[in-house]
Amino acid sequence: MLETVKYLIGSTGASGFGSKSTAEQVTETCPDLGSITAIVTGATSGIGAETARVLAKRGARLVLPARNLKAAEDAKAMILSEFPDSEIIAMALDLSSLISVRNFVSEFESLDLPLNLLINNAGKFAHEHAISEDGIEMTFATNYLGHFLLTKLLLNKMIKTAKQKGVQGRIVNVSSSIHCWFSGDMIGCLGQISRSKSQYDATRAYALSKLANVLHTKELAQRLKQVSNVTVNCVHPGIVRTRLTREREGLITDLAFLLASKLLKTIPQAAATTCYVATHPRLVNISGKYFADCNEAWTSKLGSNSNEAARLWAASEIMVSRHAEAVFDPVNVFDYHDM
């Protein structure tokens, strides 16, 4: 009850910020970002668009990848109309397609740009069951697996940039408190919903993908311990009415948002935690943490399980593998099988 009251009144935490803080407010005292290159996925609308706008305001060079290239160009034009000196590159990327992720990384590397900041923000709530071209349930493929591969392929670039520039690289995974709604066998559940429509529950699938974001952060931070010049953290932006939730418009959804209207954040407020974790000097050398309302918070019990994080990582490596004999099998996830 006390936490809810603090949230409603915007009480600040140890960081000096809280639920009512905006992205512009939390970046006011950050160093000039003129030397920073940032990739922000899902920046064509909502929280991602505001995150990109504020980073541009603070001087960062932006790379805006999107499935719809015109949408990325429109987002670029919108930012340039406010900050005409900004350097922004729009690129094509469909996170549900592993081939598209690899093509994007190849194209980005051909630009010979540094990479200081990777914000894995894009999200999808597939209320209808769908399978990606790689055979993975669509919400999981888009929200987690595409970002897993994107991060994996860009990590060496980030490590190299940090060493050359002397500025710590940061990876920010945008999750959700809804990750707490998932319980049970993650890999088994993914196998079921990737094979059978009858097992599909849209909310549980979304919660699974957001839990995967949390566990990805935990395991990657562990692996980066020896690479102190790159950190990774995870954020819950808060409840906000964006295109993601509008995909589920209807009487029940509208009524729920009406009843919860006092808990909703504005988009500038929802982008605050991402921008805080991405830029604030207080976060130097902080890695593997989960943040909400610009302060460190607790994950679910499953979200803090190191064994589950390692298990998901191993499964993910198989799912993104181009090895001819690598086949994802949720029953024997660590095995390789003949095609």
CB count within 10 Å of CB 105 equals 19
Give the tokens for residue 313: 């990582």
Strands 117-120 and 290-292: unpaired
Q: Catalytic pick from 200, 206, 276, 290?
A: 200
Give the tokens for residue 3: 């936490």
* Angstrom distance (rounded) from CA 217 to CA 145: 13
Give the tokens for residue 222: 């562990």
Residue 115: CA atoms inside 13 Å, Cβ hemisphere, count?
24
CB count within 10 Å of CB 308 equals 21
Instruction: For residue 7, indicate whether it is catalytic.
Output: no
Give the tokens for residue 60: 């960062």
* Angstrom distance (rounded) from CA 226 to CA 309: 18
Helix (H, G, I), strand (E, B) or coil at 125: coil
Give the tokens for residue 272: 């605050």
What's the CA angle centered on 186, arms 182 and 188, to 5 degrees?
130
At which residue do the structure tokens 């311990």 appear? 225
Q: What is the dihedral of CA 265, 268, 271, 272, to 10 degrees?
A: -90
Q: What is the DSSP letter of 30?
A: S
List residues with catalytic annotation.
Answer: 200
